[in-house]
Amino acid sequence: MKRSSASLAIGLAFTALILAAAGLSLVWTPYDAELILVEQRLMPPSAAHWFGTDQMGRDVLSMILGGARNSIAVALVAAGIGLGAGVPLGLFAAAQGGIVDEIVMRSNDLIFAFPALLLAILITAIAGPGAINAIVAIGIFNIPVFARLARGGALALWPRDFVRAARVAGKGRLRISLEHILPNIASVLIVQGTIQFSLGVLAEAGLSYVGLGAQPPAPSWGRMLAESQTYFALAPWLALAPGLAIVTTVLGLNMLGDGLRDLLDPRIRRERAI
C-alpha cells in the first residue's frame, strides 16, 4: 500500500510540475524563447539564465518551458486520438463479434506490425514535418493499443450476468456498450491513457530529434537535444536540461499510471480492506 501511494504522489508531483511549466509558458517565460542574441551564446547557468543559454544565445529555461507546452500538447492530443478512435473500435468489435471483430482486430495488427517510428517518418515524409503531423503519426499508433484493451475488457464482460440481464431488458449492443461495458473498463483505460501519454512525450521527442516534429523556431525538447550534441563538451547543460525534462515527464506519468492502477483496481482495493 505504501509503495503504490508513494508512486502516486511522486507521479502526481512530477506531472503537476510539467503541466505547470507548460501552463506558465502560455503567459510568461523569463525571456522570449525564440529571441536570438548571438553575443550571449553558450553562457553557463547563472542567476540571469538558470539553465544557461544555447549556441544562439536563447534562454534554455524559456525553451524548456515552451517545449513542455509543445510536448504535452502533442502527447495529449495523440492519446486523445487513441482513446477517441480506439475505444469505440474495440467496443464495437467486442459487441459485434465474428467477422467484424476479425476485420477490426486484424487491421489493428497491421498497424502494430509497423515499427512505430518508421510509420511516423513515413507520415511526416508524405505530409511534411510539423507538430500536427507528429500528432497524427503518434495518435494512429495509440489507436490499436486502446482498441485491444477495450475489446479485451469488453469480451470479459459480455458473458457476465448483468450484461445478459440488460439484453433481456431489450437493450441494444450500442447501449449496453455505453451503459454497462464502458464504465466497467474506464479505470484500465485511464491508466493506459497516462502510459500512452508518457510514450507520446517520448515519441514526440524522438520525432523532433530527427527533425520531423515541431519546426523551428518553436522550441522542442527533442530538437534541443539534437542541437546540443555538437556543443556537449563546451556546454553540457544544453543536453542536460531537455534530457532531464523528458525523463521527469515520462517517469512522472508512468508512476502516476502505476499509482492509479493500484488505486482503481478493485481487486487490490479489496485486498487492502481486509
Partner 1 sequence: MTLLAIDRLSLAIGGKLILRSVSLTVAPGEILGLVGESGSGKSMTLNAIMRLGPPGTRTEGAIRFEGADLLAGPERAMESVRGRKIGMVFQEPMTALNPVQTIGRQVAECFRLHLGFGAREALAEAAERLRRAGLPPEIVPLDRYPHQLSGGQRQRVVVAIAAALGPKLILADEPTTALDATARGGIIDLLAGLARREGAGLVFVTHDLASIAGIADRIAFMKDGEVVEEGSAPSIFRSLRHPYAQSLLAASALPPIAPDEAAGGTEPIVEAVDVSVVYGGGVRAVDGVSLTLMSGESLAIVGESGSGKSTLARSVLGLEPLAAGTVRIAGTDIHRASGGALRAARAAIQAVFQDPYGSLNPRHRIERIVAEPLHLLGRIASAERRARIARALADVGLPPDGARRYPHEFSGGQRQRIAIARALISEPKVIVLDEAVSALDVTTRAQIVALLRELSRRRGLAYLFITHDLDAARAVANRVVVMRRGRVVEEGRTAAVLAQPHDPYTKELIAAAPDLETVLAAREAEARTR
Binding site for partner 1 (CB under 8 A): 160-162, 164-171, 180, 183-184, 266, 274
Q: Least distance (Å) from partner 1 to the CB of residue 86? A: 22
C-alpha cell, 272: 487492502
Of the pair 21, 185, the CB lying nearest partner 1 is at 185
Closest CA to 21 of 248, 258, 223, 175: 248
Q: CA-based angle 64:209:33, to the nearest 5? A: 30
Nearer to partner 1, 20 or 165 (CB): 165
| Minimum separation from the CB atom of position 155 to partner 1 (A) | 15
**Cβ atoms 210, 129 nearer than 8 A:** no
- Among 136, 129, 142, 116, smallest CA distance to 213 is for 129
Q: Please report how close the Cβ of residue 261 comes to partner 1 at its closest, in angstroms.
A: 18
CA 94 to CA 256: how far, in whole Å? 29
CB of 175 to partner 1, least distance (A): 9
Residue from 68, 90, 97, 51 nearest 205 by CA: 68
Backbone angles phi, psi at 35, to 5 degrees: -75, 120
Q: Shortest approach of partner 1 to residue 114 CB, angstroms?
A: 32
Give the span between the Cα atoms of 147 and 111, in whole angstroms.
12
Least Å from the CB of residue 183 to partner 1: 5
Exposure on the CB side of residue 105, measured as CA atoms within 13 A = 19
Q: Of the candidates 80, 95, 105, which has an alpha carbon nearest to the alpha carbon of residue 182? A: 95
Give residues with Cβ within 8 angstroms of 46, minimum separation 6.
Answer: 52
Closer residue to partner 1 in complex, CB, 103/165: 165
- Count other Cβ atoms within 10 Å, centred on residue 202: 18
Determine if the peptide bond prior to 217 is cis (ω within 30°): yes
Cβ proximity to partner 1, 217 vs 269, nearer residue:
269
CB of residue 165 to partner 1, shortest distance in Å? 5
Name which of 114 and 164 has its Cβ closer to partner 1: 164
- Residue number, 65 or 166, with CB nearest to partner 1: 166
Between 255 and 260, name the residue whose CB sits nearer to partner 1. 260
Q: Rounded CA gap, 245 and 272, in Å?
A: 35
